[in-house]
Amino acid sequence: MAKGNPKGGKKGSKVAFESEPIEGEKLALVGASSTAGALASELLKDMAALKTPHVHKLGKKANLRPFEDIEVIQEISRKKNISLFMTAATTKKRGHTITLGRTFEHEALDMVELAVVKAPDSEGSYYPYPGFHYMSTDDVCATKKDADTAWDLSFKPFFIFQGDWTNHNDLALTRNLLIDMFRGHDRQDQLDPTSIEHTPVVVCTALDEDRFNIQVQKMAFTKSTGTQPFVKNNLAGFAVEFTIARAQWAEPAKRKAACKKAINIIDKLGKNKSKDGLGQTVARLYHVSQDVMEVNRRQFRGTKRSKVDGTEEREGKRPHTDE
């Protein structure tokens, strides 16, 4: 890591962030574009709440627009090592949208723009954003007790994916992105059972090949006939229906590079060594293949090859009497 610019000056040097074999928490850059309306802004706030406190919030002045100007986000990623981003925008063409995305080595890897589904007129008005399939966290929590809807910020969500998320590329990659966005990190390899009732559950239900419902629920445990608890689920946060408006997915080569695992060189036994079934180390000596006939060895009468076909070579000078 270079520190300090040899030429001096305000800019300083590029401080590269050191990579670790197992990464910690990924931060998310959250900010609305200047076009974002009330619904989009509130929805962004609701979604960012799932990621708190690993969130870096920016205001509308920053005007984050990933599809139009990705460089702004990449620059922030470089400076602060933020690899996820969540922005909101409102356009006439697509309506209220949330764009989710992630970076690799501070360059955009994937991004998807999710548009809030507009309710058909036949459905009637639905509070407080009539005409949209969206219930904000405030709406949901207004009629419920705090204990039923509050979740602990230190617990990362559970995920439930319902419906067909695998058959369509856009939906499959969106699923991967949603998991990446809200999950914890790989260093956490333990789960405390007492925390489950205070953990949010992100429920994503695929309704169509480009439409899905995403909502936040919470589990409540009660006694059951078995050792496992009986689960009761309740809506504890926002609920919204999205369609995939547009997406930009990474090239397969870049994705492969991004998904590469860290190699632990010490784990490898070394060349030519392996362990057999009993746990014993078995090593293979490198040796050129040996032709038994050509190798230099003590030659006995029986192993000698005849010089001319048909005749036998004999040791000693006794006359041949077998013919």
Q: Per the structure block, which two tokens stand in for 70?
A: 């990705």
How many whole angstroms separate alpha carbon 98 and alpha carbon 41? Answer: 9
The neighbouring-strand residues paired with 158 are 201
Q: Which is nearer to other proteins, 33 or 243 (CB)?
A: 243
Contact 116, 95 (CB under 8 A): yes
The one among 35, 54, 229, 248 contacting other proteins by CB under 8 A: 229
CB of 164 to other proteins, least distance (A): 5
Within residues 156-175, the interface with other proteins by CB under 8 A covers 156-166
Residue 154 or 303: the one with the smaller Cβ distance to other proteins is: 154
Q: Exactly one of 8, 127, 228, 289 binds other proteins (CB under 8 A); which one?
A: 228
Tokens at 277, concatenated: 């079934």
- Binding to other proteins, residues 116-145 (CB under 8 A): 119-120, 123, 126, 133, 135
266 binds other proteins (CB under 8 A): yes
Task: Give how many residues touch other proteins by CB under 8 A.
Answer: 81
Rounded to whole angstroms, how far apart are CA atoms 69 and 72? Answer: 6
Q: Does 179 bind other proteins (CB under 8 A)?
A: yes
Q: Which of 112, 201, 244, 245 binds other proteins (CB under 8 A)?
A: 201
Confirm or reject binding of residue 222 to other proteins (CB under 8 A): yes
Sign of CA dihedral 121, 122, 123, 125: positive
User: What binding mask, one character per residue, do residues 4-23 give for other proteins by CB under 8 A, x or -?
Assistant: -------------xxxxx-x
Closest separation between CB of residue 245 and other proteins, Å?
Answer: 18
Which among 46-54, 86-94, 143-151, 222-230 is the span making contact with other proteins, rule CB under 8 A?
222-230
Q: Which DSSP letter does residue 294 get?
A: T
With respect to other proteins, which residue has the nearer C-beta, 32 or 173?
173
Burial class (CB in 10 A: 0-12, 13-18, 19+), 154: exposed
DSSP 84-137: EEEEEEEETTTEEEEEEEEEETTEEEEEEEEEEPBPPGGG---SSSTTBSEE-H
Ranges within 84-113 binding other proteins (CB under 8 A): 102-105, 109
